[in-house]
Structure 1
Amino acid sequence: MDALTMQHMSAMPAPTWRWLRMNDTTIEIPQGLERVGGTEIEAEDALLDTTATFEGAVAELQERLDAARGGRGEKSGTADSRASVRAAKLAAEDIADLDTPALSRYQRRAALEEDAGDVAAAFETGIGADARAYLGFIAGGAITLATEAGAEGQATVRITGEQGGAAAASVDVVAAAGSTFDLAISLDGVGEDEPRADSSTTTTPASTNTAPAEGADSPASEPLGLIGSELRIFAGANARVNVTVYITASDAFTALDDSGYVLDEGARVTVRHVVLGGAHTATGLASDLRGDSARMDIDTRYLASAAETRDFNYVIRQRGRKTVSNMDANGVLTGRAKKVLRGTIDLVHGCKGSEGTERETVLLASKGVDNKTVPVILCDEDDVAGNHGATIGHVRPEQLFYLGCRGLSEEATEALFITAKLEDAALSAPDDAMRRNVMRLGSALAADFEYFEDENLEEDVA
Structure 2
Amino acid sequence: MANETMTVNRLPALTWNWLKMNAARLEANAPAVGAAPSFVQTAQLARSSAAQDWAMETGMGTDVDRFLANSPAEYLTLGENEVMDAPAVITYTYQPGTPAGDRLYLEAKAGSTMQVAVILRNEIAGEGLAALQIKIKAEAGAVVNLSMVQVLDNGFTCLSDIGTTCADGASFELTKLELGSGKLYAGAAADLIGKGSNFTARIGYLGQGEQRLDMNYVARHRGKKTTCEMDSTGVLAGKAFKLFRGSIDLLPGGSGAKGQEQENVLLLGDGVVNQTIPLILCGEEDVEGNHGATIGRLDEKMLFYLASRGIPEEAARSLLARARIEAVVDLLPEALAEEAHKFMEAHTDEL
Q: State whether structure 2 residue 217 is matched by structure 1 residue 314.
A: yes
Aligned-pair distance for 1:253?
A: 1.1
The structure 2 residue matched to 1:370, chosen from 245, 265, 273, is: 273
Is residue 128 of structure 2 the alignment partner of residue 225 of structure 1?
yes
Distance in structure 2 (CA, Å) of the matches to 1:319 and 1:402: 49
| Cα distance in 2 for residues equivalent to 1:189 and 1:291 | 38
For the aligned residue pairs, the C-alpha RMSD in angstroms reads: 2.5
Q: How far did 1:447 drift?
A: 4.3
Moved more, 405-414 or 392-401: 405-414
* Superposed displacement of residue 312, structure 1: 1.1
Alignment of 1:282-321 (within 5 A): 282-321=185-224
Query: Structure 1 residue runs of 4+, over 6 Å off?
Result: none
How many residue pairs get matched? Answer: 349
Name 2:342's counterpart in structure 1.
Answer: 440
Identity, in percent, stands at 35
3-state SS of 1:19 partner:
helix
Q: Match for 2:158 among 249, 252, 255? A: 255
Matched residue of 2:68: which SS? helix
User: Paired residue for 1:5?
Assistant: 5
How far apart, CA to CA, are the structure 1 residues paired with 2:220 and 2:48? 29
Kindly indicate whether residue 79 of structure 2 is the aligned counterpart of residue 43 of structure 1: no
1:27 equivalent in structure 2: 26
Give 3-state SS (helix, strand or coil) of 1:165's partner: coil
Quote how far apart the aligned CAs of 1:438 are.
2.0
Pick from 226, 233, 257: which aligns with 1:330? 233
Report if aligned partners of 1:39, 1:159 keep a CA contact under 8 Å in 2. yes
AA in 2 matched with 1:5: T
Correspondences of 1:48-447 after superposition (within 5 Å): 48-51=46-49, 53-55=51-53, 123-137=56-70, 139-140=71-72, 142-153=73-84, 154-192=87-125, 224-403=127-306, 411-421=314-324, 423-424=326-327, 426-432=329-335, 434-447=336-349
1:373-397 deviations in whole A, cap 9, x for unaligned?
1011001111111111111112244
How many Å separate the matches in 1 of 2:227 and 2:117? Answer: 23
CA distance, structure 2, for counterparts of residue 246 and residue 266 of structure 1: 27
Query: What's the CA shift for 1:160?
Result: 0.8
**TM-score, scaled relative to structure 2:** 0.91
1:115 corresponds to: none
1:307, distance to aligned residue in structure 2 (A): 1.0
What SS does the corresponding residue of 2:18 show, helix, strand or coil? helix
Q: Point out where structure 2 has 5 or more consecutive residues left out of the alignment.
A: none
Is this contact kept in 1: 2:175–2:332, CA < 8 A?
A: no
Structure richer in helix, relative to its length: 1
1:356-411 CA distance string (max 9 Å, x none):
11111111122211101101100111111111111111224444455555565554
TM-score (norm 1): 0.70
